[in-house]
Structure 1
Amino acid sequence: MHSEKYGRTYHYPFSPGTTSDDRMNDDYWNDLQQIQTLVHTEKLDGENNCLNKYGVFARSHAAPTTSPWTAALREFWQRIKHELGDLDIFLENLYAVHSIEYRNLEHHFYVFAIREGNRWLSWEEVKFYAGLLDLPTVPEIEIEQRPKDKTAFEQKIKTVVSTAGALAPVDTVTGKPCTMEGIVSRNAAAFPTHAFAHNVFKWVRKEHVKTNEHWTRNWKRATLNHEGGPYVDISSK
């Protein structure tokens, strides 16, 4: 079984949520000037999972995951595995509540990227394949043409991330509404896997992780808007 993990997304240099093992793209503006169309999507607080013909993988991709909060996703994979071909479907698994609890969830799994061989598919292709699998994509914030003014661009990102976003996030510690975890910007066009760091960028809020080592023992399932609807797995009813 083989599965190559998702590339490391470099932070914008003005992103406050970096940790010691994160990397920044200090040259991001020059990279943006090579991109015709940019897509900004909401960064969601879940687990990065990958579906491909070999199984369901968590972030490390060392072996297929067996965690209890991926049981519903593995059940879904059993139904669609023969349709995946050479696609790696990367999605944000919100089945388990992490540092943010979302109060406006239609689904537990939100696709954010798809890889085919040595190519990351365009955003239009991502939405197309997600639709075929009956999965939503992460909330789309804006599509813009190549930005011209660096200061205005950075201010816009900071303004966007000061909002709650599309899924009504609540801080699990305080129980109060909070801002979105962050934003991911990507080249709307397809690009080769080796150029990932020059085509995908993120801004993450400061101290966004509130979970600790006990999380895996005390986790709970995220509630959907339509409990018992078509997206709720059988075992959770």
Structure 2
Amino acid sequence: MRKYGRPYHLPTSPGVMSDDKILRDLSVLTAATEVVFTEKMDGENTTIYQGGCHARSPDSGYHASRDWMKAFAAVISPSLAENERIVGEYLFARHSVAYDNLNSYFLGFAWIVDGTVKTWDSTVERFNILGIQPVSVLHRGSFSDAAVNAVLADLDLSKQEGFVVRTTSEFSETNMGTCMAKYVRADHVQSETHWMNAEITRNGLKKA
């Protein structure tokens, strides 16, 4: 079991907290042949591996909202190799953003094999094989201020948390700090009570 890293914030991200890091050098993103912008979802970072699943920290304890995730992972994990991990956002319990039209309570965004974050296209292919829904793609192309502004223009930051941008090529987990970054809305956390200490409010799934 391994903890998934925390992407750095873009310099323009207004949602930087005291314990967050900012990506000051954007050269890897700007030099990339292609990047993909995906919607940053407001859930619980969760990893599925051969033996089950865990929240961001492998030693995370029990919470009633995680029962759905454990059942979902029990179906997926037998198909994973020992060196393979699937990482995504678990969205069963409402945090600061309410969702009522989700494709699934688990939306994948990374496929990691032997410490390598695989290409975006191979990641989506692997998700298709496993029956995992990916996070929504907002834009693909080169990285630039114009691309960032275009993505932001299409977001409703009263209802969406922000975006994550990464190179579409593969990279080592040790290079997450340069090959990907995030933009989070200002004042993202809008509740005085942490979601884990509040009554569970279930997000909504897309109607069939």
- Aligned residue for 2:91? 94
> Are the aligned partners of 2:103 and 2:206 in contact in 1 as well (CA < 8 Å)?
yes
Distance 2:70 2:56 in 1: 15
- Aligned residue for 1:207? 187
Counterpart residue identity of residue 51, structure 1: I
Distance 1:198 1:121 in 2: 15
- Relative to structure 1, the CA distance from residue 115 to residue 10 in structure 2 (aligned partners, 3 Å threshold; closer, same or farther) is same
Distance 1:18 1:38 in 2: 22
**What TM-score do the two structures reach when normalised by structure 1?**
0.81
137, 156, 161: which one pairs with 2:134? 137
Distance 2:93 2:64 in 1: 9
- Aligned residue for 1:173? none
Q: Alpha-carbon deviation of 1:214? A: 5.2
Q: CA RMSD in A?
A: 1.8
- Aligned residue for 2:8? 10
Q: Alpha-carbon deviation of 1:209? A: 1.0
Matched residue SS, 2:146: helix
Distance 1:32 1:205 in 2: 21
Uncovered stretches (5+) of structure 2, i.e. residues with no partner: none
Report how many aligned residue pairs link the two structures.
Answer: 206
Q: Alpha-carbon deviation of 1:80? A: 2.5
Q: Alpha-carbon deviation of 1:79? A: 2.1
- Aligned residue for 2:80? 84
Distance 1:39 1:80 in 2: 25
- Aligned residue for 1:183? 163
Query: What percentage of aligned pairs have identical amino acids?
Result: 29
Q: Alpha-carbon deviation of 1:190? A: 0.7
Offset from partner CA, 1:123-156 (integer Å, 9 cap, x none): 1111111111211100001110x34xx5434433
**Bigger-Rg structure (1/2):** 1
Uncovered stretches (5+) of structure 1, i.e. residues with no partner: 165-177, 230-237
Which protein, 1 or 2, shows the higher relative CO under an 8 Å CA cutoff with sep ≥ 6?
2
